[in-house]
Amino acid sequence: MTDTAAVLLDGIEKRYGQTRAVDGAGLALFPGRVHAVVGENGAGKSTLLKIAGGVIAPDRGRVLVLDRELRPATPREAIRRGVAMVHQHFMLVPTLTGLENLALGEEPTRLGMLHLSPLAADVERLARSLRLEVPLDVPVARLSIGERQRLELLRALRHAPKVLILDEPTAVLAPAEARAVLGLARDLATRGVAVALVTHHLDEVAEFADEVTVLRRGKVVAHHPPGDPAIGDVGRLACEAVGEEPPVVARHARRGVAREPHVRHERVRLRVDDLHVDPGEAGAGSPLRGVSIELAQGEVVGVAGVEGNGQHALELALSGVLPSRRGTIALDGADVTRVTIADRRRRGLAWIPSDRHAHGIADELPARDVLLLGAFDEAARRGVVDDAELDRSFAGAVKALDLRPDAPELAAGSFSGGNQQKLVIARELRASREGRAALVLAAHPTRGVDVRAAATIRRSLVDAARDGAAVLVISSDLDELRDICDRIVVLRGGAVVATLPPDTPVSVIGEAMLG
Amino acid sequence: MSRLFTLAFLAQAVRIALPYLAASMGGIWSERAGVPNVALEGTILVAALGAVAGTTLTGSAWLGLIVGLLAGVLLQIVHALVVLIGRANAIVSGLALNLLAAGGTRFLLRALYDSSSNSPAIPGLAPPASTSLLRATVLDPTTWMVAAVVVGTIVALERTRLGLRVRAVGEHPEAAASVGVPVARTRAVALAITGATAGLAGVWLAFDQRQFSSGMSGGRGFIALATVVIAGWRPLPAVGFALLFGVAEAAQIVLQDQNVVAHQVVQALPYVLTLVVLAGWVRRARPPAALGRP
Ligand SMILES: Nc1ncnc2c1ncn2[C@@H]1O[C@H](COP(=O)(O)OP(=O)(O)OP(=O)(O)O)[C@@H](O)[C@H]1O
Ligand SMILES: [Mg+2]
Residue A28 lies in a domain: yes
Return the residue of A nearest to B287 by Cα.
A95
Q: Are residues A302 and A334 in the same domain?
A: yes
Using the beta-carbon criterion (under 8 Å), do A93 and B175 form an inter-chain contact?
A: yes
Whether the CB of A106 is below 8 Å from some CB of chain B: the reply is: yes
ipTM surpasses cut 0.85:
yes
Which ligand 1 atom is nearest residue A47's CA? 18
Q: How far is the CA of A90 from the centre of ligand 1 (A)?
A: 16
Residues lower than pLDDT 70 in chain A: 1-3, 244-265, 280-285, 374-385
Sequence-ordered list of residues with C-beta below 8 angstroms from that of B138, at least 6 positions apart, any chain: B11
Sequence-ordered list of residues with C-beta below 8 angstroms from that of B129, at least 6 positions apart, any chain: B136
B210: alpha, beta or left? (left if phi > 0; alpha if psi -120 to 50): left
Q: Are residues A181 and A257 in the same domain?
A: no
CB–CB of A22/A50 below 8 Å? no
Q: How far is the CA of A387 from the centre of ligand 2 (A)?
A: 30
Which ligand 1 atom is nearest residue A410's CA? 4
Return the residue of A nearest to B152 by Cα.
A113
Spatial distance between the Cα atoms of A395 and A408, rounded to a whole number of angstroms: 9
CA distance readout (Å), B177 to A54, A139, A155, B145: 11, 19, 14, 34
Spatial distance between the Cα atoms of B234 and A319, rounded to a whole number of angstroms: 32
Spatial distance between the Cα atoms of A53 and B197, rounded to a whole number of angstroms: 38
Tell me which residues have their CB closer than 6 angstroms to ligand 1: A 16, 19, 21, 39, 41-47, 88, 404-405, 414-419
Q: What is the CATH number of the domain that holds A275?
A: 3.40.50.300
- Output the pLDDT for position B250: 86
Which ligand 1 atom is nearest residue A404's CA? 29
Task: Write out chain B residues lying below 8 Å of A91, CB-based.
Answer: 172, 174-175, 178-179
Q: What angle do CA B259, B262, B266 make, to 5 degrees?
A: 90
In B161-180, the residues whose Cβ lies within 8 Å of chain A are 161, 163-165, 167-168, 171-172, 174-180
- Output the pLDDT for position B282: 59
Q: Are residues A278 and A165 in the same domain?
A: no
Residue A386 lies in a domain: yes
CB–CB of A409/A366 below 8 Å? yes
Whether the CB of A362 is below 8 Å from some CB of chain B: the reply is: no
Q: Are residues A507 and A383 in the same domain?
A: yes
Q: Are residues A214 and A270 in the same domain?
A: no
Number of residues that this document lists for chain B: 294
Spatial distance between the Cα atoms of A31 and B263, rounded to a whole number of angstroms: 79
Give the predicted TM-score (pTM) of the model: 0.83
Provide φ and ψ at B25, rounded to 5°.
-60, -40
Q: Are residues A315 and A285 in the same domain?
A: yes
Q: How far is the CA of A34 from the centre of ligand 1 (A)?
A: 23
Residues lower than pLDDT 50 in chain B: 1
Domain residues of chain B, as ranges? Answer: 19-217
Model confidence pLDDT, tens digit, residues A75-111? 999 999 999 999 988 899 999 999 999 999 989 999 9
- Output the pLDDT for position A461: 92
Q: Are residues A351 and A329 in the same domain?
A: yes
Spatial distance between the Cα atoms of A291 and A289, rounded to a whole number of angstroms: 6
Sequence-ordered list of residues with C-beta below 8 angstroms from that of A71, at least 6 positions apart, any chain: A77
Last residue of some domain: A207, A242, A277? A242
Residue among A206, A176, A259 nearest A473 (CA): A259
Residues B69, B75, B77, B79, CA torsion sign: negative
> What is the total count of domains within chain A?
2
Q: Strand A211-216 relative to strand A113-114: parallel, antiparallel, unpaired?
A: unpaired
- Output the pLDDT for position A263: 55
Q: Are residues A109 and A196 in the same domain?
A: yes
Q: Are residues A137 and A45 in the same domain?
A: yes
Last residue of some domain: A194, A217, A242? A242
Q: In terms of residue numbers, what domain contains A370?
A: 253-514
CB–CB of A497/A510 below 8 Å? no
Spatial distance between the Cα atoms of A334 and A326, rounded to a whole number of angstroms: 17
Sequence-ordered list of residues with C-beta below 8 angstroms from that of A341, at least 6 positions apart, any chain: A319, A320, A321, A349, A374
Choose the closest CB to A104 out of B159, B160, B168. Answer: B168
Model confidence pLDDT, tens digit, residues B152-211? 999 999 999 999 999 999 999 999 999 999 999 999 999 999 999 999 999 999 999 999
CA distance readout (Å), A1 to A31, A66, B221: 8, 11, 63
Residue A248 lies in a domain: no
3-class DSSP assignment, residue B270: helix
Q: Are residues A307 and A187 in the same domain?
A: no
Q: How far is the CA of A357 from the centre of ligand 2 (A)?
A: 15
Q: Find which of A87, A93, A99, A364 to mutate to test the B interface (most B CBs within 10 Å of its CB).
A: A93
Q: Are residues A479 and A427 in the same domain?
A: yes
Q: Find which of A104, A111, A155 to mutate to test the B interface (most B CBs within 10 Å of its CB).
A: A104
Spatial distance between the Cα atoms of A161 and A75, rounded to a whole number of angstroms: 13
Provide φ and ψ at A110, rounded to 5°.
-140, 125
Residue A501 lies in a domain: yes
DSSP H helices, A14-144, are: 45-52, 75-80, 98-103, 117-130
- Output the pLDDT for position A384: 64
Last residue of some domain: A212, A242, A272? A242
Is the peptide bond between A72 and the residue preceding it cis, with omega within 30 degrees of 0? yes
Cα-Cα-Cα-Cα torsion A98, A101, A102, A103, nearest 10 degrees, comes to 120
- In angstroms, how far is the first alpha carbon of chain A from the final one? 46
Residue A268 lies in a domain: yes
Task: Write out chain B residues lying below 8 Å of A155, CB-based.
Answer: 179
Whether the CB of B184 is below 8 Å from some CB of chain A: the reply is: no
Q: Are residues A266 and A187 in the same domain?
A: no
Spatial distance between the Cα atoms of B23 and A139, rounded to a whole number of angstroms: 29
- Output the pLDDT for position B230: 87
